[in-house]
Amino acid sequence: MTITAEQCRAGRALLVMDQISLATAAHVARGTLIDFESGKRKPNRNNLEAIERALAEKGVRFLERAAAGQRIIGVEIVLRTVDEASQALEPVEMPVTIKAKPATAQDVKKALPPKPASWTTARRGVVRRAITSHPGWRAYAASFQPPLKIEQLSRKAEVKKVCVALGIDVAAIV
């Protein structure tokens, strides 16, 4: 059986797996997987089989049934409990069936774990507030021609340089 783009997206969503992880596990280019899932092109047979095999190794089963004159395509995942896996018993099948409907990019983003906060988001704001509330900030900023503004500190290295000059411990703030 050849999997569809919808089955690939649904299987990946069940595993809470991003495209990079699946492409790496299947040993295919990320662009191949992105184009396949978006419907831009169908990968060659070897790549398609590799993607299917990578998902199947993680526990995804691909379904194709005929019912009432309709072809039903879907995926299910076989789960194991931790105790059973550690005792090396036969897997207990607990199928979860999802009807194949086109998944949107927003659906996939919701299924993925959140990314950790980066320097450019939350931390930069906290450090900037600490700098501007420091008693020596105004004098330090005025020593530059033209005077330095907090909005100009965009790179992490620039912010750290100002913190060192003012004696602010960044590690204690963040």
pLDDT in tens, 115-173: 554 555 556 677 777 778 888 878 878 887 787 787 777 677 777 788 788 887 766 66
Distances from the Cα of 166 to the Cαs of 66, 111, 136, 163, in angstroms? 72, 43, 7, 5
Mean pLDDT across 7-33: 89
pLDDT of residue 27: 93
Among 92, 70, 69, 68, smallest CA distance to 81 is for 92
Strand partners, 63: 74
pLDDT of residue 28: 93
Cβ partners under 8 Å of residue 34, min gap 6: 19
Single out the residue of 133, 141, 135 nearest to residue 158, CA to CA.
Answer: 141
Q: What is the pTM of this model?
A: 0.45
Q: Tell me: the pLDDT tens digits for 22-73?
A: 999 999 999 999 999 988 989 999 999 999 899 888 888 888 766 666 666 7
- How far CA 104 is from CA of 15, 37, 38, 63, 145, in Å, comes to 16, 10, 9, 21, 51
Label residue 80 by pLDDT band (50, 70, 90).
Answer: low
- Assigned architecture for domain 5-111: Orthogonal Bundle (1.10)
- Residue ranges per structural domain of the chain: 5-111, 119-173
